[in-house]
Structure formats: C-alpha cells, structure tokens
Chains A and B, each alone.
Chain A
Amino acid sequence: MTEDKFEEFLKRAAQSYNAPPARTPREDMWSAIQAERAAGPRVVYGGGSPVRESSVRRFTPKIWLGAAAAAVLLLATGVGVGRWSASPSTSRSVAAVNPPTSGSAPASSGATPTIVAPDARGNVAVAPPVDRGTGATSPGTSPASGPNQRSGLRNGGGPQSVATNGTGPRASNTDLPNNSNSASAYQLTAVRHLSEAEALLTSFRTRSDTDQQMDAQLGKWARELLSNTRLLLDSPIANDPQRRPLLEDLELVLVQIVQLSPGSTPQDREMIEKTLQHDHVMTRLRTAIPAGSQRGS
C-alpha cells in the first residue's frame, strides 16, 4: 500500500475518533457561559471543581501584601532578636570575659571557655580558653578541659570580650567595645560545651555496666556540665530556637547521669539510653557542633 493510500486510510478511519455529536448543544452552553460570567469566570477547566477567577484575582494583591508584610515582620523580628541578644541591657548579657586565671571559674582549669555563675547583679561571665596543653580529657581528671584547644581567644592573656552591667541601661560603645567578640565568645563556649557533652555521653554509652568507678567519674563530670548547661540556658545562646531545646534535653540527660548512684541498676542506665535515643540527643549534638571544631574528648 502506498504512502498516499495509507494516509487516505488513516484519515478515513480516524473520522470515527471521538466523533462529536451532529448537533452542538449551543443553548445549553450559552446559558452556562452566561451563568458562569455572572458568578465570575472559572480558571479550572475540564471537569474539575470550578474556581472563580475573580476570587483568585482579588486574592492576588492580598498575597503580595501578605508576603510583603510577612517579610517586613520577619526582618523586624530578626533585627529585634539580634539587637536584643547583643544588647547589654538584658539580664543575660555578658559581664566579663577573662582569662581563666582570674580564678572565678571553678571549672575553668582547662582550655575550654568557661561560664561562671552570675554575680549579684545578674552578670554572667564567659572566660576564654587558654591552651595549657593539658592532654586528653579524662572524666576523672578535669571534665571541663579539652586537649589541643583551638581558639582565637586562647592566646591572649588579656581580656578579649566585654564587660557590661546587666542592670544598667544600654551600654555605650565604650562599655561594649566589640559585640562580635562577645558573640564569638558565646558561640565558642557553646560549641565547646556541646563537644564536651558529646564526649561525656559517648563515654557513658561505651562504659561497662559493672564499672562503678566509671559511673562515679561520669557523675562528677556530668554535674559540672550540668551547671554550665544551666548557665548557657540563661545566656543569649539559648535564644537560638534549635539550641535551646537541645540544651534543655541535654540538661535532662545530665541530671539523670548525675543521679546515677554506685548502686544503680542497669534499668536506670537503660532509661538514660532511651532518653538519648528518643530525643536524638547525640545526633542533635553532633549537628550543633560545626564540622572541624575541636571536640572536647
């Protein structure tokens, strides 16, 4: 069969394809069109639920207005949070960052930047780390210390951060010479703290169930981390919506570890393990610790 004949055959046979009725339902469709236009044109075709285009058009400017309002609100909130967290007028502001040699921090014997308890005016101190080359961290020696601490703050013996009055008005630039240093100190402190917490929890998970002495050492270590965790919860670090729940969960786990007595049963430890697993504490800790940062273990 030739090409022309095939085309003829195809055209002839295809005439039956979806053959329309002889009579077009003109009036029905015209009535429907009039009704549709009276109610507002549709934008959805083909048997679907009709949507009135007029309502879509009316909504479009609202979408833009809403988006713009949301963007402005988000921006304002971001600026507000940033200013608030950097503001010295908040009670959680940094009071001083001193080298650990100041002796004000009980857990500051290592290179880890250390938070100390607020003073009478509500100031919280963050001490920068000093690399003392103390070697590997051991739960039994100095839980707060870490080996080979790396920090831009560690080498200078002088103050690298800020001193503000938690009850006073907003500090002037001379009172708060370097906000970025303050934020960096907090950030560094938080990372170090979380690294240590990770080290502690890893040690907890890998210890022997029968090692009572290890339990005691872990309890002591956890106690020190617990106090720092609570201080961090009261610091601007806790403003971070992801970090705060992590610190709260960490606090809970640390409390459980602290409460482990030498005679605690495997069920007690299992409960801690379940808490760790249920809240994905380890995963979140590792996520919160930037890659390449010094781990406290």
Chain B
Amino acid sequence: MELVAYESRSSVNDTQLITRVVAGDAAAERELYETYVDRIYRLAFRLAGEDELARDFTQATFIRAFEKIGSFRGDSSLSTWLHSIGVSVALNGLRKTKRQRSREAPMEEGLTVGSTRREAEPDLKERMARAIDSLADKYRAVFVMHDVEGYTHEEISGTLNIPVGTSKSHLFQARSKLRVALADFAPEWVS
C-alpha cells in the first residue's frame, strides 16, 4: 500500500524534514504537505463522506501538525503521527458536526454524518453505506482504514493508538455487524 511506501522513507529524511519545518522553513512545510496530503485527504473523505468536511479535516490536520511538530519525539514514524492527528481530527469533527446537525434538523431522521445520499446507486451500495455509517466510530475507523483504504493492523494500531489485537477485534466486530446488515444479499453469510 501507499502508506507502506511512505513509511519506508528513511528516518533520516523525516528527521531532516522535521528539523527544517521546526526551523520555520516554508519550503519544508510545503514538502511535508505535498508528501502526505493525498492520503490524509483520502482518509478524511472516507470518514466524512463530504468534500467540505474532508477539506476542513485535512487543513486542520496540517495546521495542527505544523504547530505540534516541535514536540514530535519520533516514537512513531512521521506518517503514523500525521495520520493519528488526521483520524483524531476527523472523528472529533464528525462528532461535533453530528451534534450540530441533530440540533439544527432534529426532524430529518436518518441524516447521518459521513453519508451522502446516492439515490441512483444500486441497493447494495446504499445498504452498505448505511451499514458502515451505523457502525460505532472505533469499528468504522478500523474497517475503513483496513478494508477500504488498505492499512495494515500495525499501521492502524499506531494511528489509533490501540493494540494490534484490538484493531483486529474491532475489524472482526465491524465485519460481523456488516454481515448481518447485508444478510439480505446472501443469507448464508449470517449463519
């Protein structure tokens, strides 16, 4: 996966880049941004389901990263650290947005953050989207990262700051729930 490739960046390069960013090198900031923005944005979009929210989350991730990079200790890779910020920003932002929207439009039942209505899509995709949206945040994040974006459990573990076993457990739980939710399409899965 792409992330693996970026993880293989030498720690020396990361360290140099971080040092330059901390020193206020604007070019280094841009370089860091260009290196990671695609994956951060993709993940943010997967979690948010809306371009506007995904942009907000991505921007907030880099803004926070530039602010905090001086305290980056190198316990994990720069990529994992950035993704960790990104997922945290996205999940917190989604919770806040969900609360706001539930206050603003309490009558609009079924409106869920992270889902966009795709009325023209086949029923399976619609049901799949709704089922994934209904997962708890911790399950949804792991499922999206692993089964949709292809992150490994080790990467998820570093990003979400959970043990690898917990990541696997969350994925199992997510799949189980989706299996039930999608049972209409293949009842034999449920058994």
- Chain A interface (Cβ < 8 Å from any Cβ of B): 1, 6-7, 9-11, 13-18, 20-21, 24-26, 28-30, 32-33, 36-37, 41-42, 44-48, 53
Contact = CB atoms under 8 A, between A and B. Distances in A.
A30 B116 CA distance: 25
A44 B186 CA distance: 43
Nearest to A6: B189
A28 B51 CA distance: 12
Contact of B93 (A17, A37, A47): A47
Nearest to B126: A16
Interface of B: 30, 33-34, 37-38, 41-42, 45-49, 51-60, 62-64, 66-67, 89-90, 92-94, 96-97, 100, 114-116, 121, 124-125, 128-129, 132, 143-144, 147-148, 175, 178-179, 186, 188-189
A53 B56 CA distance: 15
Contact of A42 (B34, B63, B124): B63
Given A18-B115, A18-B129, 14 more contacts: A9-B186, A13-B128, A16-B128, A18-B114, A20-B41, A20-B45, A20-B54, A29-B55, A30-B33, A45-B57, A45-B92, A46-B57, A46-B93, A47-B52
Nearest to A12: B147
A42 B58 CA distance: 12
B37 A29 contact: yes
For the complex of A and B, list the 3 residue pairs with the smallest distance between their C-beta atoms, beginning with the closest. A46-B93, A20-B45, A45-B93
B116 A18 contact: yes
Nearest to A35: B59
B97 A47 contact: yes
